[in-house]
Amino acid sequence: MPTNASNQSLIRMEGLTKVFYTDEVETHALSGVHLEIRAGEYLSIAGPSGCGKSTLLSILGLLDSPTDGTYLLKEKPVQGLDMAERARIRNREIGFIFQSFNLIGDLTVFENVELPLTYRGTKSAERTKKANEALEKVGMAHRARHLPSQLSGGQQQRVAVARALVGDPMMLLADEPTGNLDSKNGDAVMELLRGLHRGGATICMVTHDPRFARHADRTVHLFDGRVVEETMEVVS
């Protein structure tokens, strides 16, 4: 059993399908995916390149919509939500960690981290407090006034993690978070995620590296848009 997972279902997907249309070609990125993520779970989505991992993560993060199937977030269907409501959920419930960090180059580390709170309308004093806390948590408080270009890749990803954490989201979605890092920095980031999970965070991570997938409680294997296998890490 997963160490922190509760029985409360955060996400439930049933028969989820995603089809891309390019000219006259139909590409089935996802075909009938069933997936459930419980609160406090650390889930890894693994599979070869082009298997639909990132598409699934985008749908999970409400950046994209499924062509067919059901997606329930906290038991509420997300189909039919307008753009504003989706943006509100992304802002309050989901924290994104991207492969290429996606920090905004013109903003300082601190400004990058407080950005989700800005969109939430949080007052300045509280924003400052929470952003500082998030930076402390990832060990980047001392770099708050720096620009992203002044940081190493590993440091940038730590800042990205702080940005994902700052709004106390329901779930962290990480898309190949170590993909642009060397092994040392990759390990450090994985350790950071592991620590967050131990603190109770729900994490869903896409990775093609089995070494990192093993950090999760459970791994869902995708192939050609279908879930072909689920493995559980046994806690010794």
Partner 1 sequence: MKSLWQDLRYGFRMLVQNPGFTAVAVLTLGLGIGANTAIFSVVNAVLLKPLSYANAERLTMAWENNLAKGWSSFAVSPANFLDWQKQNHVFDPLVAFLNSGFVLTGQGEPEMLSGMQTTDGFFRLTGVEPALGRAFRGEEFEAGKNRVVILSHALWQRRFEGSPEVLDKAVTFSGESYTVLGVMPKGYRIPQGADLLAPLTLTPDMLSHRGSHYLVAMGRLKPGVTLQQAQSEMSGIATALAKQYPNTNTGWNANLVPLYEEIVGEVRPALLALFAAVGFVLLIACGNVTNLLLARGASRQKEIALRAALGAGRIRIIRQLLTESMLLALAGGAIALLVGQWGVELLRALQPANLPRMQELGISSSVLLFTFALSLVTGLVFGSAPALLISRSSLSETLKEGGRGSGSGGRHRLKGALVIAQVALSLVLLVGAGLQIRSFLHLMEVDPGFDSTNVLTMGVSLPDTKYTDAERQTAFIQQALENLKALPGVKSAAAVSTVPLGDSDLIYSLVVEGRTVPKGQEPSANWYSVSPDYFQTLRIALVRGRVFTEHDDSTAKRVAVINESLARRIFPGEDPIGRQIRMGINSQAVREIVGIVKDVKHYALESRFTMQMYEPYRQQTRDSMVFLLRTDTDPASLTSAARRAIFSLDKEQPVSEARTLEELVSASASQRRFNTLLIGFFAVVALVLAAVGIYGVVAYSVAQRTHEIGVRMALGAQKRDVFSLVLRQGMVLVVTGVILGLAGAMALTRLISQLLFNVSALDAATFLSTPLLLAAVALLACYLPARRASRVDPMVALRYE
Torsion of CA 89, 87, 27, 216, to 10 degrees: -40
CA angle 233, 77, 8 (to 5 degrees): 40
- Residue with smaller CB distance to partner 1, 91 or 219: 91
119 near partner 1, rule: CB under 8 A: yes
Helix, strand, coil content of the chain in percent (nearest 5): 35, 30, 35
Mark the segment that binds partner 1 (CB under 8 A) among 3-11, 28-36, 66-74, 83-91.
Answer: 83-91
* Token pair 């791994």 in the structure block, residue: 219
Mark the segment that binds partner 1 (CB under 8 A) among 11-19, 31-39, 113-121, 219-227.
Answer: 113-121
**Size of site (CB under 8 A) for partner 1:** 23
232 near partner 1, rule: CB under 8 A: no
225 near partner 1, rule: CB under 8 A: no
Footprint (CB under 8 A) of partner 1, residues 5-44: none
- Residue with smaller CB distance to partner 1, 63 or 72: 63
Judged by CB under 8 A, the residue of 19, 63, 72, 81 near partner 1 is 63
150 near partner 1, rule: CB under 8 A: no
Footprint (CB under 8 A) of partner 1, residues 84-103: 84, 87-88, 90-92, 96, 98, 100, 102
CA 37 to chain centre: 12
Chain residues that interact with partner 1, rule: CB under 8 A: 58, 61, 63-64, 83-84, 87-88, 90-92, 96, 98, 100, 102, 104-105, 115-116, 119-120, 163, 167
